[in-house]
Amino acid sequence: MPSPGARRSSWANGSRCEPGSSSRRRASSCSCPAGGALSSRRLSQPFAAVALRSLMAVDLWLSRRLGVCAAEDSLLGGIRPLVKLLELSAHRTPWVSSAVYLLLTSRTAEEQELIINLLMALLLDHILVRVVKAFIRYHSSEMFATLPPHPRYSFPSGHATRAAMCACFLHARLLLDAPVRALLLVWAALMGLSQVLLGQHNVSGVTLALAMGYCQYRLVERCWVPIDWLQDIVLTVLGSSQVTLKDSETETMMRQVTPND
């Protein structure tokens, strides 16, 4: 049995075991396996998910580094109006308005066929981009805190899809010189780059948009509508409407001739 002096020395040195010390030691010893199990679960994640997160992180970092015109106080904020002017060249309104004007002023059937198919390609681009944006639901304001929240979804870039599709369309269908054809492709590439410089889209969104634009062009080429089909459709619609009009006129005349009881 320890002497009272030994007990006092143990109190002084703080070596006396408290009743809850053993339970705390057991709890601390039990917490280690839980942390090991958590780390093992993290390590057991699929390689595809880890690779996808890594690519998204690289994409976000690169998009932020390239967004030098995202705001007026950015690195190249002084050329922001020029880049916005380049962006305007691929807006939907100028393209649709120009196509409608050319369709109304066209004189040959070949011109009408070309412009009508271009209008259908623009409509296809608008529908597909809206569907993909509604499915992915990504906002450009997530990349740059300086940008105001955008009401629409911004993945992929509609300007880039339209630029790629129209550039490939005109490159294949118009009899242009080689420098002009090369200029069309450069314009489409610069359009995609401008979306990243302005901070409105990330690199992956622009890359997907350019690929989508090319696929849309290939789809339009495969489903090309010749002018003969268009004329037959118009004549069929007009013929059915004329027949309906004649039937209504005949019925009206019969009612006028028939005496009232």
Of the listed 126, 139, 171, 201, which one is catalytic?
201
**Is 159 known to be catalytic?**
yes
What is the token pair recorded at 113? 């066929």
Which of helix, strand or coil describes residue 49? helix
Does residue 71 sit in helix, strand or coil? coil
Q: Tokens 């106080």 sit at which residue?
A: 73
Beta carbons of 198 and 81 less than 8 angstroms apart: no
State how far the Cα of 86 lies from the Cα of 174, in Å rounded to an integer.
Answer: 22
Contact 168, 220 (CB under 8 A): no
CA 229 to each of CA 224, 226, 232: distance values in angstroms, whole numbers, following the listed order = 10, 6, 5
From 126, 150, 159, 171, the catalytic residue = 159
Residue 206: count other Cβ atoms within 10 Å of its Cβ.
27
The dihedral built from the CA positions of residue 166, 167, 171 and 177, taken in this order, carries a sign that is: positive
Q: Write out the catalytic residue numbers.
A: 159, 201
